[in-house]
Amino acid sequence: MRIPAHSVCTAIRDDIVAGVHGRGSRLTEELLARRYGVSRVPVREALRTLEAEGFVVTRRHAGACVAEPTEQEAADLLETRTLLEPLGASRAARRRTEAHLRVLRGLVRLGQERARQGRGEDLRALGGWFHETLAQAAGSPSLAAMLTQLRRKIDWMYRVETPPGAAEHWAEHGAVVDAVARGDGDRARALMALHVERSASAHRLRFTSGDRPGGVRNAQRPVNMPVLRN
């Protein structure tokens, strides 16, 4: 059975974000095909997609390599998030469904519970699901896709420390959901803008401009194995 290129793309992207393929390391079709248990055709297609997304670059005499974003490019991502996340919240206030609200409220309840328990790993995953659901509630596939790609790249470039005021962090999520539920787009936008600005202080770069390229750091993994993500 032929493995879809998008499955290979997801596997390679997840490994890049996780640091399995180090910044600047070569991505040869033959080795990737062997690693993920597929032919070279879906690998080639996946690398094209990842290059368009900015995770991969093609270099003369070296071929496909993991991109090496600069500190300025990383900072630009956080700035872009401050523009797009509030826009998504504002649109969600006008376009959300009851199903979206149920999921968002459920995530806020879980987040507040985990915050009281001090379970930082759970909070990171729940935060990702919250923002993804809010983006979907905006009713714009193109905006949701941009926000998804933006979060992936931020996850790749930054580690996020659990804020000392995790309960307040999730109270902010709850306030955004309340505004979305009331259909108050202006308040949802303003609250999300403040939330994103405060959250930025918890982001720490995973690299500096002087870091040297790395290589593949773990063993072979087929693409059809489940991948845990935050």
pLDDT tens figures, 175-194: 999 999 999 999 999 999 99
Q: Are 24 and 68 in contact (CB under 8 A)?
A: yes
Tokens of 212: 């040297």
Query: Which of 29, 191, 169 has the alpha carbon at shortest distance from 107?
Result: 169
- The lowest-confidence range among 31-35, 52-56, 120-124 is 120-124
CA 79 from chain center: how many Å? 15
Query: Which of 112, 122, 125, 198 has the alpha carbon at shortest distance from 155?
Result: 125
Its sign, for the CA torsion 128, 133, 135, 136, is: positive
The full length of the chain comes to 230
Query: DSSP code of 3?
Result: P
Q: What pTM does this model have?
A: 0.81
| Whole-number Å distance between alpha carbons of 74 and 185 | 29
| Whole-number Å distance between alpha carbons of 226 and 221 | 10
Q: Are 50 and 91 in contact (CB under 8 A)?
A: no
State yes or no: pLDDT of 220 exceeds 50: no
- The lowest-confidence range among 119-123, 165-169, 194-198 is 119-123
pLDDT for position 118: 81
Q: What is the mean pLDDT of residues 63-74?
A: 95
Q: Are 24 and 66 in contact (CB under 8 A)?
A: yes
